[in-house]
Structure 1
Amino acid sequence: SKENGHSEQIPPAIIPKRHKLRQSWTYWYLNDNRMMNWEDRLKKICTFNTVEDFWALYNNIKTPSQLNVTCDYNVFKDGIDPMWEVPENAHGGRWLINIDKGRTNEVMDTIWLEILIAIVGEQFGEDMDQICGLVANVRAKGSKISVWTRDHSNEAANMRIGNIIKQKLVTAPVSDKVNKPIFDVLRYEDHDSCQHKTSSSIKAKLSITAVDMAPTPAPAP
């Protein structure tokens, strides 16, 4: 603008560069109010599609280990609800990590963050289309973290996904006081079995151990 013969330079606004993710993800929270219906306990926290928005969210909410018992976190591709019944999950399954009660909070939070970064950062290559989301279940008798995939019968893709999860976890940075490896075994279960059986009677379709042994499909029931 020119005023009194002086020309004034207005500096351009500095807009920080944002790094787009390949797709949008939605963070869900299930509260611990057992008096309510499950659907009413489930709330969308936020949908994000940039690296910066992901970290802004992550750094401002509790980690899984800080949640009350019976709470869940779910991070799913935007448009996929975190429930078995929806079409994207109906024929799917999950890679499950059981976290023993004796483990420190650091272990749960490390497993969650390592897998979360791998998923939103698209580190599963061509198998990203098989991944639906990530779930943390905080439970008194031992919490669980699981990666949900679209097709439980696609064993080749599910093994590739499982092996990448294993690599992320065996190389995850943890403090010296943590017993390593930070998980014992990854078990792949189909959602259908999980709905109709108690957890102790579910046969794993696939399993991968933390300590190297040749990964083998579980024997047929």
Structure 2
Amino acid sequence: ILQKRHMLRQSWTYWYLNDNRAMNWEDRLKKICTFKSVEDFWALYNNIKTPSQLNVTCDYNVFKEGIDPMWEVPENAHGGRWLINIDKGRTNEVMDIIWLEILIAIVGEQFGEDMDQICGLVANVRAKGSKISVWTRDHSNEAANMRIGNIIKQKLVTAPVSDKVNKPIFDVLRYEDHDSCQHKTSSSIKAKLAITAVDMAPSPAPAP
């Protein structure tokens, strides 16, 4: 008996960037699979490595079908990203939890009216500390980007983790526009927006 497949509203493509630095970047990037149903997604996810199992300098990219995971394509050219830096002192579990929580939220269309602003999700595995980022279409649409950022925060602060993991599993979400990332002159980029994992306590009122 054929089981009914639960179709997604949007088809998504999973990309993999290998660690062969001798090759051109475009040649390192390979399309793994495009999935269109919940069942296809889990069949793929359960049969590939998690981000923390990839070699250093490898990337995963999951983007809407038809959008290449590159800054310069039209869908991304005027966009930006919500960035989560994962300290190298964190356990592998933390990276994989963050990746899966956001991936399920994106594929499951959990961003409401702002789904059209989301282009994809990226994991960069790096020796000095890995990164996970959500790419959005328009860096100037601060209202939509803040709504997206707050949903990401909510997903991550409520994510189930084992007792050995220190909470919160992230410190701050930073929103950067792609243009600043491409033309940066130092290692630090000024964030356009930021959301902390722990709400900052209000300053005490001055004594009368």
TM bucket, shorter chain:
over 0.9
Pair member with larger Rg: 1
* Aligned-residue offset at 1:145: 0.1
Q: Is the 8 A contact 1:99 1:143 kept in 2?
A: yes
Question: Any idea what the Cα deviations from partners look like across 1:60-80, whole Å, max 9, x if unmatched?
Answer: 000000000000000000000
Aligned-pair Cα RMSD in Å: 4.4
Structure 2 Cα separation of the partners of residues 135 and 120 of structure 1:
13
Q: Which one of the candidate residues 77, 84, 87 is aligned to 1:90?
A: 77
Q: 1:135 is paired with a residue of what secondary structure?
A: strand
Runs of 5+ in structure 1 lacking a partner?
1-13
Determine the C-alpha separation between the residues in 2 that align with 1:216 and 1:147.
32
For residues 44-97 of structure 1, the C-alpha deviation after alignment (integer angstroms, 9 at most, x for no partner) is: 000001000000000000000000000000000000000000000000000000
- One of 69, 72, 86 as aligned partner of 1:99: 86
The ranges of structure 1 where at least 4 consecutive aligned residues each deviate by more than 2 angstroms after the TM superposition are 198-201, 213-221
Residue identity (%)? 95
Separation in structure 2 between the aligned mates of residue 189 and residue 133 of structure 1, nearest angstrom? 15
Q: What CA distance in whole angstroms lies between the structure 2 residues aligned with 1:144 and 1:51? A: 26
What is the alpha-carbon distance in structure 2 between the residues aligned to residue 196 and residue 220 of structure 1?
47
Higher relative CO (Cα under 8 Å, sequence separation at least 6) belongs to 2
Q: Normalising by structure 1, report the TM-score.
A: 0.90
Give the conservation status (yes or no) of the 8 Å contact 1:97–1:187: yes
How far 1:213 moved relative to its partner? 2.7
Residue 56 in structure 1 maps to residue 31 in structure 2: no
Alignment of 1:4-15 (within 5 A): 14-15=1-2
- Paired with 2:179 and 2:3, the residues of 1 have a C-alpha distance of 46
Q: Which runs of 5+ in 2 are unaligned?
A: none
Task: Indicate how the Cα distance of structure 1 residues 22 and 220 shifts in structure 2: closer, same or farther if over 3 A, else same.
Answer: farther
Match for residue 11 of structure 1? none
